[in-house]
Structure 1
């Protein structure tokens, strides 16, 4: 069910203040799974509580893992060190990390596990991950190439070498790596080719695995060797979400403000933090931005580019077409809803016809959000400089940043339901 539309009134002042971004979704869901695979008690602090992490936690509880929530930013995970076969399908909404990571992890159960999601998830490809799992002798099937998925768990992840096509999603690679530490012997996870959509997220995975006691060695640039160590319970601190922070960095430069996030940019280890360097170049963004290694930051940068001094072309973003929605199409469509021709698709590229004169105008537009949190949050940035913008289904931000609208209001941005 969609939420009432939200009108955003452009502020007449620079946005100044302190905002604490939520914890990283990417790291939270990795840490939840690794803690569930570790025997004992792990405390995860600084964690994100959102729709995606709630779905991950609920699925782990279905498999016999105790996941307690002592406060708004912590999980305490107590596990026997194994996953039990759930009595019913794991229903994961449109949580891509949960679906991909758990598809590999449930091979550690003993028995048949079905994983399913909502209508949007049933359009998100998972075939390359299943093909890789089958090469290790694991039964894994999805008749449409998208969820629902059926996995025949056998209590371990095998041994040997597995090749994975990571061109559609680095999450396939991360899923294999995390499960591989529970193999019968060492497992080499190798890329089928050189293409990987977001290598920085694989680095995040390896760092989290290492914190939970795994041994992962980079054999070369396209191969990782994972030893069959299993995992050890540990206390783990999760850094703030870099993707969420991009909206605040952009709001700062759009309004000439100063927003303290409580963490220096250099302290972020997530790939989307690379966007900070570009955001600080505004209003002189480069004419071409390759978004392949910071994909979740592209919506932020695309809306910021609308106000840039010169047009911007975004390349390396074909994988945005298989996110929560087709983000290339959504960005082009909604930018052009503000002003015809402001955004357009050119193959898999996005071209933004920048115009600094948009700032200060009133251009009524009802922005469709496609049930995609990043479309809603990025187009709220346009509303900081353009009057008349209404965000449809604003509650979709609950997927990763439930407090987003409150954060803007705390900085003095006025909103009203319409």
Structure 2
């Protein structure tokens, strides 16, 4: 059977060969992108030398590494990971203009991080990044004594950031991006005084904030939380400590392979994942179990299976805390015996593309019934689907999710497959093992 991945660069359009049998496979999942971003930055802020093992090295995290190098951080790469020489929060600017291309996490984290630098820095990204809002975070930082100037449109990159993070109390919306909270949290130990962050709305993607808080604790920083008001308080009396940190496997990346077994049947064992992880996307195991799959966790890894004779059941589910799973969920839901209703996903409009409309458009193109609102999707399974060329909108998660659909539906091809390099460069290499 012809391989999906060739040794030469991926084609501009890649046809996915469908599988005619259930899956029986074991794979190792690479490190978490979300954890890797945070580990790199916390190590750079620490006093001393940190060793980061099993990092996710993709275009997004390499954008973070490039940004840290521009702030004077000494970074060494070896066979096990990276060695990062911490600065103790004292950044000596090497390049005063940083472009993070399409890495929203990098750009948002560096907005606060650059207030710790010794001179002004301009931060920008690609055309899509200039359409992704950061105004709520900038407003909060202005409350904390920062000086930040918009260079084009108010509320959006590019921005010029001046040295200085005073601290105090700020108010921050939680319904746009959890990265606003993580950005301020990570740099707050270096403010002139303690920092208090008060959410002014419900927080979407809360598990990503929990990842930040857990990792700050592992690097020596404790954040006080008020369970009633959701107030977060960070003291400036303690600083990060250099740490040898092993990055756990990425549940967002794992979701595609779990989804493949859900729609094709069979079983898969994924290694490298932490069954007690703070990653919000671990909930995909619970979702698939409710839909009709079996889940087993043991010393070998996480096993997921489904008998090809057992129907998948549609669900009504709030996915506000796991936005990166929505496309995977839509693919699985397309093969359920009943409709699925996915709600609380308005914030998907601010991702690499408008993921509600992009996903709905491509599903309809392949014959799936889809209804959308500004904050929800309804997936209505049909008896048969047809192949077609899937536009990815330069969104890595579009490419990976619809490639999985191509394992079930003959004739699906993926435009711009190399966009998976943003988060998961090994994706097609691992997918190729399904044909062994």
- TM-score of the superposition, structure 1-length normalised? 0.93
- Please tell me whether residue 313 in structure 1 is matched to residue 341 in structure 2: yes
C-alpha deviation, 1:322, in angstroms: 0.4
1:387 alignment partner, SS class: coil
Q: Does 1:259 align with 2:286?
A: no
Is 1:342–2:369 an aligned residue pair?
A: yes
Residue of structure 1 aligned with 2:50, choices 33, 38, 42: 42
CA RMSD of aligned residues (A): 1.7
Aligned to 1:393: 416
Q: Deviations over 1:291-327 (max 9, x none)?
A: 1011101110011111111111211000001001000
Distance 1:400-1:5 versus aligned 2 partners, 3 A rule: same
Q: Which residue of 1 aligns with 2:219?
A: 212
Rounded to whole Å, the distance in 2 between the matches of 1:204 and 1:285 is 31
Rounded to whole Å, the distance in 1 between the matches of 2:26 and 2:363 is 29
Q: Which residue of 2 aligns with 1:244?
A: 253
After superposition, what is the alpha-carbon deviation per residue over 1:128-154, rounded to whole angstroms, capped at 9, x for unaligned? 111011111100122411111111112
Cα offset for 1:3? Answer: 4.6
CA shift at 1:85, angstroms? 2.5
- What is residue 274 of structure 1 aligned with on the other side? 283
Contact map agreement 2:29 2:272 (CA 8 A) in 1: no
Gaps of 5+ in 2: 1-8, 293-310
- The 2-side partners of 1:394 and 1:23 are apart by 21
1:170 correspondence with 2:197: no
Give distance in 1, aligned partners of 2:412 and 2:375: 27
Asked if the contact 1:212–1:232 (Cα under 8 Å) also holds between the matched residues in 2, the reply is yes
Q: 1:104 aligns with which of 92, 97, 112?
A: 112
Which residue of 2 is the match for residue 196 of structure 1? 203
Q: Which residue of 1 aligns with 2:297?
A: none
TM-superposed CA distance for 1:87, in Å, is 2.6
Is 1:83 paired with 2:91?
A: yes
Question: Alpha carbons of 1:374 and 1:169: their partners in 2 closer, same or farther (altered >3 Å)?
Answer: same
TM-score normalized by the length of structure 2: 0.89
Cα distance in 2 for partners of 1:205, 1:215 equals 11
Partners of 1:288 and 1:13 lie apart in 2 by 29
Distance 1:264 1:206 in 2: 19
Q: Give me the whole-angstrom Cα distance separating, in 1, the residues matched to 2:93 and 2:28.
A: 38
SS of the counterpart of 1:217?
strand
Q: What do residues 361-408 of structure 1 show as CA deviations (whole Å, max 9, x unaligned)?
A: 5x1210000000000000112111111100110000000110111101
- How far apart, in 2, do the equivalents of 1:112 and 1:202 lie? 28
What is the alpha-carbon distance in structure 2 between the residues aligned to residue 141 and residue 69 of structure 1?
A: 35
73-82 or 56-65: which moved more?
73-82
Aligned to 2:16: 8
Q: Is the 8 A contact 2:25 2:434 kept in 1?
A: yes
Distance 2:279 2:132 in 1: 23
CA contact (8 A) 2:77 2:83 kept: yes
1:190 CA displacement: 1.3
2:404 corresponding residue in structure 1:
381
Match of 1:410 in 2: 433
Cα distance in 2, alignment partners of residues 40 and 242 from structure 1: 30
Structure 1 gaps of 5+ residues are 414-418
Task: Determine which of 180, 183, 188 is the counterpart of 1:180.
Answer: 188
In the alignment, the residues of structure 2 paired with residue 131 and residue 86 of structure 1 have an alpha-carbon distance, to the nearest angstrom, of 27
Task: Determine which of 291, 304, 316 is the counterpart of 1:288.
Answer: 316
2:249/2:273 contact within 8 Å kept: no
Shift of 1:21: 1.4
Aligned to 1:304: 332
Query: In 1, distance between residues paired with 2:405 and 2:188?
Result: 44
User: Does the CA contact (< 8 Å) of 1:15 and 1:256 recur in 2?
Assistant: yes
Structure 2 distance, partners of 1:264, 1:65, is 30
The answer to whether the 8 A contact 2:262-2:332 is kept is no
Conserved? CA contact 1:304–1:381, under 8 Å = no
For residues 65-76 of structure 1, the aligned pairs below 5 Å read 65-71=73-79, 74-76=81-83
1:353 alignment partner in structure 2? 380
Give 1:88 shift.
3.1
Q: CA deviation at 1:220?
A: 2.8
